[in-house]
A = this chain, B = another copy of it.
Amino acid sequence: MACLLRAATWRLLPWRGYCSRGTKGELNESFVEALKAVVGSPHVSTAAAVREQHGHDESMHRCQPPDAVVWPQNVEQVSKLAALCYDQGVPIIPFGTGTGLEGGVCAVQGGVCVNLTHMDRILQLNLEDFSVLVEPGVTRKTLNTHLRDSGLWFPVDPGADASLCGMVATGASGTNAVRYGTMRDNVLNLEVVLPGGRLLHTAGPGRHFRKSAAGYNLTGLFVGSEGTLGLITAATLRLHPVPEATVAATCAFPNIRAAVDSTVHILQAAVPVARIEFLDDAMIDACNRYSKLNCCVAPTLFLEFHGSEQALAEQVQRTEEITRHNGGSNFSWAEEAEERSRLWAARHNAWYAALALRPGCKGYSTDVCVPISRLPEILVQTKENLKASGLTGVIAGHVGDGNFHCILVADQEDPEELLRITTFSKQLARHALALHGTCTGEHGIGLGKRQLLQEEVGAVGIETMRQLKATLDPRGLMNPGKVL
């Protein structure tokens, strides 16, 4: 029956790919009963459709469903679940919004998927201390809605309305990182259920100080650990004052180097730019079509400035001088919220604009990051490789950090095309590594980049990571098969 259900689901969701494992029967009846005893019957499911839904993220990695999905309501239940699974040798896969891009939630060894979205309370807001304590299911948009009248906000913005603890787990960043930092810079404390069920507060229980030199940086170890070291059940995050005013601008360039040189000069001039995004000509063309814009089809920077009215005027003026000096043209800025929203909506819809290039196809977003001085050469080479590969792809990126994505659109039914995507992505990642970069600036390693991680950090680096994993998760049950 389970097999039939799975097959049916597979037909309903053809792009999910074939589900090779995750037989319900692997969890015996009494274990499922034990799960129900912890979280209550309505919060456990072994239905194939539910398991399918939890066996994939938004990447092209094929669906690998868990054997059961549970929805704990509080940290005590998470702790009991972890103890139960660990005791029985059952893998545990934490699950947030499922918006990851490297297959981080695929249950490669089956096991229990712990869906944390029912734990969605904002537990404590410390306005004077610029911090907030959230449960794992709170998403970034929910938090910012909650903060609306507080004068503070949480700026890390990976695009998707991801759960904040999911963002912690993947070490997310996004468009605002050039000014406000990544998750690594904005997490003050974490509550983590360790594999055996014990509760760790990485900076000590209830603490929310701004900085510390007390012992090893456990918080930093869990940020970006992709669910492989424990389940994050609460996060204390750093908040920032809402800028008094915001201005957005776009500027087109004759070539990629001119756009990147402008970025370097803007940063060198200490213009505190909040976002500085690069879009290649193909991306601009797609955005024009999809979002009904009328941008010049050329390498383009989308910029955003935060500050006082007076400071903004100066920032915009300096930026315009720099871009003009580098051959930029069509510099246009939008002070009005509506016009600005339209511009950034277009940037945030880049993914859908790319998908619209080939209706019915699926997108895959690669992610690398290089020292900013190496951006021109890798961007130019990537465009050439794209052309040579015959793939449909566009480039967009957080150029202020040296981080960029190539959004590839492919026919999910065409194995040859999918193979070309894999080949192209690996080539891109290796090019980034050759330029002293990283194979992922923000999407994480997940399933797909484990070999690349080895190449990136070398034998001693991998061995050290393996030792840390073995220390914190000796039975290898926390999200197995990921990262390492």
Binding site for B on A (CB under 8 A): 126, 128-131, 151-152, 170-173, 177, 181-182, 184-185, 194, 198-218, 220-221, 223-225, 229, 240-244, 264, 267-270, 272, 306-308, 310-311, 314, 318, 367, 369-373, 401-403, 433, 436-445, 449, 452-453, 456-458, 460-461, 464-465, 467-472, 483-484
Contacts and interface: CB of A to CB of B under 8 A. Distances in A.
A369 B211 contact: yes
Nearest to A151: B268
A461 B241 contact: no
A171 B437 CA distance: 25
Contacts of A225: 216
11 contacts: A126-B371, A185-B185, A199-B460, A201-B461, A203-B438, A211-B442, A214-B449, A215-B457, A221-B468, A243-B270, A270-B307
A402 B128 CA distance: 11
B457 A214 contact: yes
Contacts of A201: 457-458, 460-461
Nearest to A199: B460
Contacts of A467: 471-472
Given A213-B442, A214-B456, A453-B215, A472 B464 contact: yes
A338 B213 CA distance: 34
Contacts of A181: 185
A310 B213 CA distance: 36
Contacts of A367: 213
A159 to B, nearest CB: 14
Contact of A372 (B128, B173, B453): B128
A438 B236 CA distance: 15
B218 A369 contact: no
Nearest to A456: B204
Contacts of A216: 221, 224-225, 229, 465, 468-469, 483
Given A209-B436, A467-B472, A214 B445 contact: yes
Contact of A436 (B172, B207, B371, B453): B207
A196 to B, nearest CB: 10
Given A173-B213, A194-B460, A203-B438, 15 more contacts: A129-B371, A152-B268, A181-B185, A198-B460, A208-B436, A209-B370, A209-B371, A211-B402, A212-B440, A213-B445, A214-B440, A216-B469, A218-B461, A242-B270, A243-B270
Contact of A210 (B402, B457, B469): B402
B465 A184 contact: no
Nearest to A189: B436
Contacts of A373: 126, 128-129
| Number of this chain's copies in the complex | 2
B220 A461 contact: no
B401 A218 contact: no
A205 B460 CA distance: 10
A200 B460 contact: yes
Contacts of A310: 310, 314
A211 B173 contact: yes
Contacts of A213: 170-173, 224, 367, 438, 440-445
A437 B131 CA distance: 13
Nearest to A446: B213
B241 A402 contact: no
Nearest to A129: B371
Contacts of A264: 128
Contacts of A369: 209-212
A212 B441 contact: yes
Given A131-B371, A264-B128, A241 B269 contact: yes
Given A221-B221, A436-B207, A457-B204, A215 B465 contact: yes
A224 B218 contact: no
Interface centre among A151, A436, A458, A470 (most CB of B within 10 A): A436
Nearest to A483: B215
Nearest to A228: B216
Contact of A217 (B170, B212, B220): B220
A438 B212 contact: yes
Nearest to A188: B371
Contacts of A211: 173, 177, 182, 184, 369, 401-403, 438, 441-442
A439 B217 contact: no
